[in-house]
Amino acid sequence: MMKTRSKTVRKLVNIAALLASGLSAIIGLVFLVWILLDVFSKGIGAINWKFFTELPTPPGISGGGLANAMLGTVIITVLATILGVPLGILAGTYLSEFGRNRLGEIIRFLTNTFVSAPSIVIGVFVYAVMVVPLGNFSGLAGGISLAIIMLPVVTRTTEEMLRLVPDSMREAALALGAPYWHMVWKVAYRSAGAGMMTGIILAIARVSGETAPLLFTALNSPYWPNGIMQPMANLTVTIFNYAMSPYEDWQVQAWGGSLLIALTVLVMNIAARMVVRRAGKSRKR
């Protein structure tokens, strides 16, 4: 195939392809930088001391902040982490240590498809099994729907990380007489720890920016969080409501909230990367 074309044609094709690829990289980066710059420039104007400490004000009255929504997002995310992470680690352990059979195959398949299931449908599910029977929206329902989103993510990374632990290390521990659970606890978790931690941080980062599953579980509220069985203010739904409102001050607040969420997610992602890098260095990989 290469012989049939002259050198000039090949070189021209090469240059054209490189240009096209470089151009698409530029187009992609331009859009993404553009979005980040806008979020930053529009959001920075809303951020001041009140933004972090005060309750929202009704439209038309300037000032006020999203302190209740920030607290609510933290509470909901913590609930999701408490519920989702241990379960995910256990399920990932099952898949990696005991799951080399038919049931393991099925669960692995379902987990991989579950990872990208539409988050809004998970919201519908939690609405049906929690909000309807209990009769009201609640922060807990929001936490549960985020936990369901986290579960497959944590399961998958845990399994992947545990599989990287060499079998010879497992066998060495077992040969010393350690029971299987003790080997997993002391050897496998320890050597896969950094990777698992990264997966967990990334999963938390992902759910802390989720909006759709909270729309009809946690709902929203203009007040301070008042127990996890009540509707709970949260940043993302507040951003959605404020952005869709016709009031200019609310839209400014929505930009402020967007900047805050974007920064939080970015910082968590960078932190996750640093965990891996530190662990990699200490192991001299």
Partner 1 sequence: MAGLKDTPRHSSWMETGFRFLTWGAGFFILILLLAMMAVLIYDAWPAIQKFGLDFLISTEWNPVLGKFGALTTIIGTLVSTALAMILAVPLALGVALFLTEMAPDFLRPVFGTAIELLAAIPSIIYGMWGLFIFAPILADHVQPWLSEHLGFLPLFQGPPMGIGMLNAGIVLAVMILPFMASVIRDMLLMTPQVLKESAYGLGATTWEVIWQVVMPYGRRGIVGGLFLGLGRALGETMAVTFVIGNAHELSWSLFDPANTIASTLANEFTEAADPIYLSALVELGLVLFLITFVVLGLAEWWLRHTAPRGLEK
**44-73: which residues touch partner 1 (CB under 8 A)?**
none
Q: Establish how many alpha carbons lie within 13 A of residue 100's alpha carbon, considering only the half-sphere containing its beta carbon.
A: 3
Q: Which stretch binds partner 1 (CB under 8 A): 49-57, 73-81, 179-187, 191-199?
A: 179-187
Describe the crossing of helices 189-208 and 248-282 by its angle, rounded to 10 degrees.
Answer: 170
Between CA 242 and CA 42 the distance in angstroms is 14
**116-135: which residues touch partner 1 (CB under 8 A)?**
116-125, 127-129
Q: Which stretch binds partner 1 (CB under 8 A): 90-98, 192-200, 222-230, 275-283?
A: 90-98
Q: Which stretch binds partner 1 (CB under 8 A): 45-53, 61-69, 199-207, 221-229?
A: 199-207
Q: Which sign does the torsion angle of CA 253, 259, 263, 264 carry? A: positive
**17-36: which residues touch partner 1 (CB under 8 A)?**
17-18, 20-25, 27-29, 31-32, 34-36
Q: Kindly state the smallest distance separating residue 69's Cβ from partner 1, in Å.
A: 13
Q: Kindly state the smallest distance separating residue 57's Cβ from partner 1, in Å.
A: 21
Let me know: does 126 contact 144? Beta carbons within 8 Å.
Answer: yes
Buried/exposed code over 104-128 (b: 16+ C-beta within 10 A; e: otherwise):
beebbeebeebeeeebeebbbbbbe
Q: Which one of residues 80, 85, 95, 146 is an interface residue with partner 1 (CB under 8 A)?
A: 95
Q: Which one of residues 68, 73, 138, 155 is an interface residue with partner 1 (CB under 8 A)?
A: 155
Between CA 116 and CA 196 the distance in angstroms is 19
Between CA 236 and CA 262 the distance in angstroms is 11
Q: Which stretch binds partner 1 (CB under 8 A): 46-54, 66-74, 104-112, 192-200?
A: 104-112
Q: Which stretch binds partner 1 (CB under 8 A): 14-22, 49-57, 72-80, 274-282?
A: 14-22
**219-278: which residues touch partner 1 (CB under 8 A)?**
219, 236, 239-240, 243-244, 251, 254-255, 258, 261-262, 265-266, 269-270, 273
Q: Kindly state the smallest distance separating residue 178's Cβ from partner 1, in Å.
A: 5
Query: Is the CB of 44 or the CB of 90 nearer to partner 1?
Result: 90
Q: Which one of residues 78, 82, 90, 134 is an interface residue with partner 1 (CB under 8 A)?
A: 90
Q: What is the full DSSP assignment across 18-34?
A: HHHHHHHHHHHHHHHHH
Query: Is the CB of 31 or the CB of 247 nearer to partner 1?
Result: 31
Selection from 145, 154, 134, 137 nearest residue 211 by Cα: 145
Site string for partner 1, 201-220 (x = CB under 8 A): -x--xx-xxxxx--xx--x-
Q: Kindly state the smallest distance separating residue 141's Cβ from partner 1, in Å.
A: 13
Query: Is the CB of 181 or the CB of 224 nearer to partner 1?
Result: 181
Between CA 51 and CA 65 the distance in angstroms is 4
In Å, how far from its chain's centre is CA 110?
Answer: 19
Residue 44 is encoded by which pair of tokens?
């920075």
Give residue for tokens 């090949």. 10
